[in-house]
Structure formats: structure tokens, C-alpha cells
Amino acid sequence: MMSNAEAQKQASGQFVPETQHQRWVKYGANVTLTVIVVIVLAGLIVYLAERFSRRVDTTAAGIYSLKPQTVNLIKDLKQKVKLVSLYAAKDARQQDNPYAGPVRDLLEEYARKSGNIEFDVIDPITQPTKTDQLVSEAVQKYGGAVKAYREFIDQFFKETYGQLTELTGNEATAAADLPTDTLGEDERSQTIAAIVNTVREVVPQSLTRLKERVDRALKHKYPDYKAIVDSMRDSLDSLSQRQAALVRLAKTYQNDPQVSEQIRKYLSESPPRHEAIQKLADETIKKIDGLGELKVGQLQQAIKGQDLILVLGENDWRVIDFGQVWVNDARDLRGFTEGREIKPRFAGEQAVTTAILSLASNNKPKVAFIRPGGPPLTNPGFPPFQRGGPLSELGERLRGYNFEVLEKDITGMWAMQSQMQGMPSPPEPTDEQIRDAVWIVINAPGDTRMGPPPSISPRLADHLNAGGSAMVLTMPNTDNLSEALKPFGLEM
């Protein structure tokens, strides 16, 4: 309350200073009102964030926001998809991994835009328990054929392995007393010595090592059954080839008068026994080839890695590695100067959307690379130990787009050369398997060391005349493929 004197001064226009009580009332009320407004606004923001769950991309280019095409695609997604980031939070120097955050934000954006997509973040270094759990879920979900592989391994060592060891052991006993000490240094003598050594030691020891490898592999927490069976197949294939070679060499030297009578007698009697071993090995290989595809082992290995994205569908999956998400732009590489750091471009949306699209597609188109001899072009290899073929990156990109990628030496020259060098090449697809594929014909000069290679033109003509499709990539000074292309009005 103002006194009469203060009231008179204020009425006359004179300045009257505020009392402490008046200042407390005036400014205290303003502060209280401000605090209330801030609390109300904060509560409203929290409510709206929880209600609409919206995240704002503040980057200039919007690189962490999904494009409208992607949003339309995942909005109509018919199956459940789980996205998993396996990026470590810290790098080897225990510094924050700059690549982990953008990947996490991107996967979260996919989950926000589609009710059929969920995402998870697992640090493979600090969260090994979650990694093990993911492996178990993968085996349970995608490992339907695991049972067949496991049963094959059990049955092999219960029956077939014993039969093989008995047959090869008996053969080693039959060759135990063959006189090899008196053999000379000439080619014939060395070949005979190699035959006896193969029968006595090489074959029995190879079977022993096979069992030891399988036993070790089965002791792993999550055995890679596909890799185990593939190893068994390789060993059986080597066994079969050795038996075939023993039969061929036995027939070559069984009547040679310069070979001792005791060895000639063995060579004349042994071929049927070698053929029996070869037959058993070949029959077992056919069983392996009939087991069907088992890719869950690849996923198991991928889960144990880091800086990866897993795209897990209902029946299949895709693994997106670091190089597919963080791409070195060729333009930046051309302008590279020493001392300058090249920052990779973030291509996560392209890679993840492609993977989701491939899982959502029911059809898997075929592409067959057709080459006129020479080693495979699209073989991915085993980096960094084994380089892939010159078109391996293209092949992997097509597989990522849900293509089934096949490759065939249409002349058969590569398989023949590999066999002659004692290093048989893996089987290539049959003519029937590539019949309905789109052919990518690599018309390149062939290997002329064994004479001019056969022309691929007749085979290409048959494919086109049967209604097939093809794209021809040709090089200078090669077959003009006139037999195949001229009926379509094309010339090279």
C-alpha cells in the first residue's frame, strides 16, 4: 500500500521508487508464469513425440530420410522384415565409430515408415550374447535343411566311412609287400612307386584326415554343416579321381615286361577293387548333390562379422557389407591428392531397399554368363586370400538384385584343361539349367594353346532360335557370330 505522500508524488508526476515487496510481487509472478509455460510446452512436445514418433532429418541433402519411392515400396510390404545393424559402437582405437550412427538412424526410419519392418542394433564386440541369440534364431528360422545335412553326416560315418576304410585298408594290405626298393629313377619306375605309395599311404591317410576335420568342425558351438559336407564332397571327389587314375595306370603297366612279375600281378588284379571304391565314392557324392541348398551357414558366418546390415525376411535373407553402404565415389578417387581423406558416400538406402525388394519378389530371374573358355569370370573368390574373377563385382551386384547368376564355358575347354593339370574345376551348370536364362555372351579371344577354340556361334544360334534372350559383349578380332546374329539382321 502506498502512503499519502507517495500517492501525492505519483499524482504530480514525480518518480516513486518501487519497494522490495512490490518488486517481488511483480517479477516473481513473471518468473512463475514463464516456468509454467515452459513446463507445459515441454510436456506437449514429449506427448507429440510419443504420439506421432517422428524424427527430423536436419542434413542439407536429407540423406537419412527415405525417398518417396522407398516409402511407397515398404508401405505395401506383405511380409515381416527385420533389419539388424551389426556396426560396432567403437572402432579399434576405442573411438566412436562414425559409421554406426547413420546406419542406426536409417534402419530406424525404415521401421517408422512400415508396420512390417522392425530393426535392432547389436554391437558384435560388446554384445556377444545377443549375437549368439541371433545365430540361434537364424538356424531355427532358416535351417530347415540342416536336419538333412546332419543326418547325412551321421549316416556317412555310421556306414559309408567304415566301408571305404575297409576297402582301402584291404587294398593297402594287398600292396604292402610289393617290392619298391629296387625301383630305379626312370619315369616308369617312379610312376610304379607313386601307385604303390598312393595305395599304401595316401588314400588311407586322406580318409583319416577327413574324419579328423569333420570331428573338429562338429565340436563348434554352431557347426557350419554346409561347409562340413562340402569338405566331405571334395575329399570323396579326390578319392574317386585317384581310383580312376589307379585303374588307368594299372592297365597301362600290367603287361609291361620291364615291371616285376609281382607288381604286374597286383596291377592286373586291382582294377575291379579300385572301381568298387570309386563307385562307392561317386554314389556318396550323388547323395550330397541331392541334399539341396543350405545357405544358413553363410548367414551364421555373417552374423559373426561386424560393420554389416542383415535384412531378414520370412524365408530368406540378405547380408549388406560395409562397401555396399559406404561407397567411394569414382569422381572423388579421380581427384584424390596425397594427404586428403576421401569420405565415402552413404548409399545405405539403395542397398537396404534393394535387399528388401529382392526378398519381396517371388520370381528369381536367371542370368547366365557364357564364355568361350578360360577361368570363371564371376567367381567371387575369397578376399583377401583369393581374388575374384574380373566380373565378380558385377555378379555380386546382380545377386543383390535377386538374380540367380550362372556361368558356363560353352566350349568345355576350361574343364578339359583343368583336368589335365590335375586341378579339376567345380561343376558348371548344365545346358538345361541355362536354357531359360538371359545369356550374357562374352565374345573374347580364347586360349589357342590347344588349337583354335570351338566357336560359340552355333550354341548361341540354338539358344536364340529356341526363343532365348541374349546380350553379346564382344571384343575386337573375335568371332563375328554371324551364324547366330545374321538371321536377326545384326552384323559385327
Span 99-125, mean pLDDT?
Answer: 91
Residue percentage of the chain with pLDDT more than 90: 17
Residue 24 has pLDDT above 70, yes or no: no
**Burial (0-12, 13-18, 19+ Cβ within 10 Å), 401:** middle
Secondary structure of residue 354 in the 3-state scheme = helix
Q: Are 406 and 335 in contact (CB under 8 A)?
A: no
Residue 400 has pLDDT above 80, yes or no: no
Secondary structure of residue 326 in the 3-state scheme = strand
Closest CA to 342 of 358, 330, 359, 355: 330
Q: Are 398 and 405 in contact (CB under 8 A)?
A: yes
Closest CA to 358 of 324, 391, 328: 324
Work out the mean pLDDT of the chain and round it to a whole number.
79
* pLDDT score recorded for residue 382: 57
* pLDDT score recorded for residue 278: 93
Residues 6+ apart with CB under 8 A from 253: 188, 191, 192, 195, 259, 263, 264, 267
- Structure confidence by residue, pLDDT tens digits, 312-345: 888 778 888 888 888 876 555 555 556 566 678 8
* pLDDT score recorded for residue 102: 93
Q: Can you tell me the distance from the alpha carbon of 82 to that of 120, in angstroms, rounded to the nearest whole number?
A: 8
Residue 155 has pLDDT above 90, yes or no: yes
* pLDDT score recorded for residue 263: 84
- Structure confidence by residue, pLDDT tens digits, 202-237: 889 999 999 999 999 888 877 778 888 888 998 999
Residues 6+ apart with CB under 8 A from 134: 84, 122, 303, 310
Closest CA to 243 of 286, 275, 290: 275
Q: Can you tell me the distance from the alpha carbon of 103 to that of 105, in angstroms, rounded to the nearest whole number?
A: 5
Q: Can you tell me the distance from the alpha carbon of 15 to that of 24, in angstroms, rounded to the nearest whole number?
A: 19
Identify the band that residue 76 occupies on the pLDDT scale cut at 50, 70 and 90: confident
Residues 6+ apart with CB under 8 A from 30: none
Q: Are 472 and 442 in contact (CB under 8 A)?
A: no
In this predicted structure, which of 101-110, 253-262, 412-421, 443-452 has the lowest mean pLDDT? 443-452
In this structure, the chain runs to a length of 492
Q: Can you tell me the distance from the alpha carbon of 304 to that of 432, in angstroms, rounded to the nearest whole number?
A: 37
Closest CA to 120 of 109, 107, 132: 107
Q: What are phi and psi of 63, to 5 degrees?
A: -70, -15
- Structure confidence by residue, pLDDT tens digits, 413-469: 777 777 667 676 777 888 888 888 899 988 887 666 656 667 888 888 888 888 888
Query: Which amino acid would we find at residue 393?
Result: E
